[in-house]
Amino acid sequence: MAFVDVVSAFRCLRALVIGDVMLDTYLEGTATRLCQEGPVPVVTRRAEHRLPGGAANVAANVQSLGAEALLLGVVGCDSAASLLRTTLRRAQVSLDWLLADPSLETLHKVRILADGQYVVRFDEGDELQLGPVLLERLLTALEAAYACCDLVIVSDYRYGVVSDQVITLLAQLQARRPKVLLIDSKALGRFRSVPATVVTPNYLEARLCLAERLPVAAHAVQRGEPLSETTLRQLGEGLLSSLQCSAVVITLAEQGAFLLDRRGEAYHLPASALQCASEVGAGDSFAAALALALAAGASLIEAGVIASEAAALAVAQRWTASVRQQELLQRLGLRAALEEGHQAASSLAQEISYSLERQRLAALLEQERRAGRRIVFTNGIFDLLHAGHVHFLRQAKALGDVLIVAVNSDRSVRRLRGEGRPITTERDRLALVKALDMVDHALLFDEETPAALIRCLRPHVHVKGGDYRTEELPEAEAVRAVGGQVVILPLLPERSTSAVIERIRASTEACSPVRVAASGEGGDHE
């Protein structure tokens, strides 16, 4: 099956996700001094992010990938549970199957970061003790949800929701009416009686399942040392012999994943070469996409490729991430174009170039941010550079220490202004902007709005020219999400590229049949 067809079919699926739900909180700030009371940094809070974690993040990924998620888990009746429900509503995950018990404490992981670096993580909640009444409610809900779903994903962090009784019932349900079942557990050995479609342990979880001793070599994957195909095959075959699963997918961090089924077909799937913003939750994206792809009719290898691409999108994002179906479709479409040798491969190469450049710049800006410098961002077409552009950029630079200018690619200009534009190529426009003394960094971007670029670069100030209102800007939400502010600067009157083009056209029409194409209005610092 074509990758795009598989992912498009996610819309027809309903997935039951059962496991340990939790709330992930990120407190982000800056640290410029040590506390007088002890040798620890004083962190000034700048932003706070609350996201679904654990099994809740798997359900959020299922939903954002286009399918319908039935999330079966247990929470307390505390503030963390209330906040978790808010994040799930935002992710459009139904709360109908989420059970609450006032005697329990909701699982909550609080991560504190200073200037992008982890300082500490606080965990609230411990192994859940399910009383007989709550356990009976959970088993009843599992049986009811199983009857109306197309596939099942178990997300077991060993906090108590996936109890022995739940595993026994799941095995019985699978025996009576088999469905695609993916098991992601930190203790796979507990699922020996469950007829699963696939299990997805990481390397160490796989070895622990086989009760092997862990010599130094077992940590090779964490150090980036390559693991031999022989070692991985032996480990996979051991899992297949000790479990009732049809296939094994051993995840290997930056080394990708190793796939093996009962026919002996093996495949080592390489990881995408991407700079990771955060690995938290990438396994949840991988599991959700893998299970959905198998339920949509993909082969194990096809599903593994789709899951790997979903994980690559997740690790490129900050915080616990969910992957949108449209993002995955676009990424898989570009991959297919490259593999099939279509002309779109050149477009993919361009996309990769844009991505690498923004990742390189994001790393440089982290250093500037740690040094306490204020980062200012603006964007525009900058076709036929004129005095209005220079005046605007000088004003923008005065708002901070480092000025970043994003220049629209030729392709995005044509989408915005029509086939007659740009007059000057993207390479020349970028070179001219870079040559201005007030510009510290300039790069190309291909999207219709700079929202994705803003989320990546995280500027303190986003500057726009014209008579906009902040709420009218499509990128305003992205600016708020990174803790920045929008500043609107007035433009010099009668200083716009469109006005220059109109004057050129009027002049040439008076003396020659040659016409200079122009489209679009003035406005903004195009």
Q: Which residues are catalytic?
A: 284
45: how many CB neighbours lie within 10 A of its CB? 12
Return the H-helix or E-strand segment holding 200. none
DSSP assignment, residue 123?
Answer: E
The helices-and-strands tally (H runs, E runs) of the chain is 18, 18
- Cα–Cα dist 6/3, whole Å: 5
- Cα–Cα dist 285/173, whole Å: 25
Of 150, 153, 156, the closest CA to residue 74 belongs to 156
Q: Which residues contact 385 (CB under 8 A, 6 or more apart)?
A: 429, 432, 433
The token duo for 220 is: 């090779």
DSSP assignment, residue 324?
Answer: -
Beta bridge pairs of residue 22: 53
Pairing of strands 257-261, 461-465: unpaired
Beta strands per DSSP E along 341-416: 375-380, 402-408
Q: Which residues contact 66 (CB under 8 A, 6 or more apart)?
A: 7, 8, 10, 11, 325
CB 381 within 8 A of CB 354: no
Helices within 296-343 (DSSP H only): 300-315, 325-339
Q: Which residues contact 364 (CB under 8 A, 6 or more apart)?
A: 441
CB 102 within 8 A of CB 128: no
CB 319 within 8 A of CB 280: yes
- Cα–Cα dist 384/141, whole Å: 65
- Cα–Cα dist 126/439, whole Å: 51
Beta bridge pairs of residue 182: 153, 198
